[in-house]
Structure 1
Amino acid sequence: MSTLGTSDVEVSELSFGAAGIGNLFTAVDDEQAYEAVDAAWASGIRYFDTAPHYGIGLSERRLGAALRDRPRAEYTLSTKVGRLLEPTDAGGDDLAEGGFAVPATHRRVWDFSADGVRRGLDASLERLGVDHVDVVYLHDPDDHAEQAFHEGYPALEKLRSQGVVGAIGAGMNQAEMLTRFVRDTDVDVVLCAGRYTLLDHRALTDLLPAAEGRGTSVVVGGAFNSGLLADPRPGATYNYTAAPPELLDRALRLKALAERHGTTLRAAALAFPAAHPAVASVLVGARSALEVRDCAEQFATPVPWAFWQELRTEGLLAAAAPVPAPEPS
């Protein structure tokens, strides 16, 4: 377990991202969703992350139900603010708008105001069926920086000082604005998705050094870059769109190298971000018990030192990127 920043909030080294059980791209039923959470618990995962955006509330409802009989003090729960859910009678589904296979019963309204933060958190607590969450992130404030920094962040800081939440931060699919959060605010943690992987080292330039210097924790999501590093093949996705040919070729090279060294690309993709000293947890999205168990098994599997050495030799790994220490001989 690692502690987030200077807070008392602890997270497991491997954590469960609940977008998949919110029907990301394809539907799963309640039973499959609950089995995925059960498998995560059985695998030792004790940090669970969700958001109103995921399935326009479905992920929060399912995660809350799946955790309801677990001792609340034994797990860490995070959600996000910045999108309020308002009822709509537009009809249809949410796939085109949000990417989730759910009926479009609500629409998302961007709101990083202090009132929006408080209303959003209250609504999340109701959907989750809990009286508190441990971590709250400002979610994807890319186009709302002014309001997020001057209204949303102070609101989170106030909630933390009041003891309503234990840790606060921001979660984004970029590194640049997260670096600003680390440098200009007193966040405990940032959630960086898809920007510190075997294929994308952007967070290594500024974000991770800044976080390490400030004592801010980083949770890394998207270690598989939405699928390409889990199963590189024609048609695989990279950051939720079709993978460009040059990145597919690079992923296939990584896979071949991993197999030559007796390991898997999935194991290497999970081990890589976890090796950085600023990273507190690696967040994996899963929609089934099988996927969860596979991720836990791969995460627990040591990756040979020679694999990392060859990656550097082949120019497939940044020279400054930390890698797991060699296994004792």
Structure 2
Amino acid sequence: MQEEKKMHSRPFGNTDVEVSEIGFGAWAIGGSWGSVSEEDARAALHAALDNGVTFIDTADVYGDGRSERIIADVMKSRPGDRPFIATKAGRRLDPHVAGGYTRANLNAFVERSLKNLETECLDLVQLHCPPTEVYYQPEVFQVMEDMVAAGKIRRYGVSVEKVEEALKAIEFPNVASVQMIYNIFRQRPAALFMQEAKRRAVAVIVRVPLASGLLTGKMNASTAFAPDDHRLFNRNGEAFDKGETFAGVPYELALEVVEQIRPHVPDGVTLAQFALRWILMESGVTTVIPGAKNAQQALGNSAASDLPPISPSTMDALRSLYQSKIAPHVHHQW
């Protein structure tokens, strides 16, 4: 009989809340990742929650609210403790410009998420990768403060593209969390940001942990992507920041480096689980939010929490691989 994997938790910044170190990223069940049926989306969420996941990350724009509504529906069918549900606001703006981050717009976005998630107070609302100027506008953060005071949201954070934006955001004393890309292909946050986040007791939510699936090791040069999959239509940043797609690494180069990572993966562990465990080696990380299109993927992700630590020699080898092959393409862009 297979031993059940344990899900470990970490404190969410300076709050009294603990969350599972592997969360559930709900972008894929909303849209832009090819077709995911509602049935598969629900099954993925149930599997994650059944296996100890207590943190779900979504956004109002994922499937134009579909992701939030599916989460709300699943919550209604599950008695007991409600997981920590984080959403985001800002990307409904068209055009997406700093001037759109007004009190009226942010309040409207939050009201819509409250309705979609069928709750009276949101656990966490993150500014959704706003233009860099927004981080220099205290009045935007005051709007978030006022929503906390009004009981609409419990806390607020930011989702960023760049390390510099993250460092600027956490100068605001009540920013509870920063969501950012951090993975074997995007190692820069470890150099300075993670230490600052720990010093200020800011929670760190890691997205794109598998570099849009590259670090599952299941892709090759002939892998085909659906027309509505961002891995086809956003490779050069046509729709949003290209760093969100394959972590900004040129596809063919990434495939080559994946093959160099593969020998470091222990027997009985998938490359995806190994890549998630690598992220958890950083003590500054609070939770990692891989996506899952079905129950099997959600189960595999959850199991990464109970893997043993990666050896120092392997960590060194992965750092060297990053510095020699990947860093020239991504390190100074984000």
How far the C-alpha of 1:150 sits from its partner, in A, is 2.8
- 1:114 alignment partner, one of 103, 106, 109: 103
Whether 2:231 is the aligned partner of 1:228: answer no
Task: Report if aligned partners of 1:223, 1:282 keep a CA contact under 8 Å in 2.
Answer: yes
- Partners of 2:51 and 2:206 lie apart in 1 by 19
Task: Report if aligned partners of 2:134, 2:140 keep a CA contact under 8 Å in 1.
Answer: no
Identical amino acids, percent of aligned pairs: 25
Task: Report if aligned partners of 1:13, 1:281 keep a CA contact under 8 Å in 2.
Answer: yes
Partner of 1:273: 279
Whether 2:66 is the aligned partner of 1:77: answer no
Task: Report if aligned partners of 2:13, 2:286 keep a CA contact under 8 Å in 1.
Answer: no
Aligned CA distance change for structure 1 residues 215 and 208 (closer, same or farther; 3 Å): same
Aligned CA distance change for structure 1 residues 24 and 160 (closer, same or farther; 3 Å): same
Letter in structure 1 aligned against 2:214 = L
Partner of 1:302: 308
Partner of 2:153: 165
- 1:54 alignment partner, one of 33, 55, 62: 62
Aligned CA distance change for structure 1 residues 109 and 64 (closer, same or farther; 3 Å): farther
Partner of 1:102: none
- Name the SS of the counterpart of 2:23 in structure 1: strand
How far the C-alpha of 1:312 sits from its partner, in A, is 1.1
- Partners of 2:278 and 2:113 lie apart in 1 by 32
- 1:256 alignment partner, one of 263, 272, 276: 263
- Partners of 2:16 and 2:108 lie apart in 1 by 25
- Name the SS of the counterpart of 1:279 in structure 2: coil
- 2:198 alignment partner, one of 212, 215, 221: 212
- Partners of 1:180 and 1:7 lie apart in 2 by 21
- 1:181 alignment partner, one of 169, 181, 187: 169
- Partners of 1:281 and 1:217 lie apart in 2 by 8
- Name the SS of the counterpart of 2:265 in structure 1: helix
Task: Report if aligned partners of 1:169, 1:188 keep a CA contact under 8 Å in 2.
Answer: yes
- Name the SS of the counterpart of 1:190 in structure 2: strand
Task: Report if aligned partners of 2:273, 2:300 keep a CA contact under 8 Å in 1.
Answer: no
- Partners of 1:244 and 1:49 lie apart in 2 by 26
Partner of 1:140: 129
Whether 2:245 is the aligned partner of 1:240: answer yes
Task: Report if aligned partners of 1:228, 1:243 keep a CA contact under 8 Å in 2.
Answer: no
- Name the SS of the counterpart of 1:118 in structure 2: helix
Aligned CA distance change for structure 1 residues 54 and 233 (closer, same or farther; 3 Å): same
Structure with more of its chain in helix, by fraction: 2
- Partners of 2:322 and 2:161 lie apart in 1 by 21
Letter in structure 2 aligned against 1:153 = F
- Name the SS of the counterpart of 1:268 in structure 2: helix
Letter in structure 2 aligned against 1:8 = D
Letter in structure 1 aligned against 2:152 = V
Letter in structure 2 aligned against 1:240 = T
How far the C-alpha of 1:316 sits from its partner, in A, is 3.0
- Partners of 2:172 and 2:159 lie apart in 1 by 16
- Partners of 1:223 and 1:235 lie apart in 2 by 23
- Name the SS of the counterpart of 1:298 in structure 2: helix
How far the C-alpha of 1:177 sits from its partner, in A, is 0.4
Q: Which range is displaced more, 220-229 or 167-176?
A: 167-176
How far the C-alpha of 1:173 sits from its partner, in A, is 3.1
CA RMSD, 1 decimal: 2.5
- Partners of 2:167 and 2:150 lie apart in 1 by 26
Larger RCO: 1 or 2 (CA < 8 Å, sep 6+) = 2
- Partners of 1:116 and 1:3 lie apart in 2 by 31
Q: What are the superposed Cα offsets for residues 172-207 of structure 1, whole Å, 9 maximum, x if unpaired?
A: 233220111113442111111x2x211111111232
- Partners of 1:174 and 1:55 lie apart in 2 by 25
- Number of paired residues? 291
Structure with more of its chain in strand, by fraction: 1
- Name the SS of the counterpart of 1:58 in structure 2: helix
Task: Report if aligned partners of 2:48, 2:298 keep a CA contact under 8 Å in 1.
Answer: yes
- Name the SS of the counterpart of 1:284 in structure 2: coil
- Partners of 1:170 and 1:72 lie apart in 2 by 29
TM-score of the superposed pair, with normalisation by structure 1: 0.80
Task: Report if aligned partners of 1:137, 1:169 keep a CA contact under 8 Å in 2.
Answer: yes
- Partners of 1:182 and 1:268 lie apart in 2 by 30
Q: What are the superposed Cα offsets for residues 208-234 of structure 1, whole Å, 9 maximum, x if unpaired?
A: 121111111111111101111112532
Letter in structure 2 aligned against 1:60 = E
Q: Which range is displaced more, 56-65 or 183-192?
A: 183-192
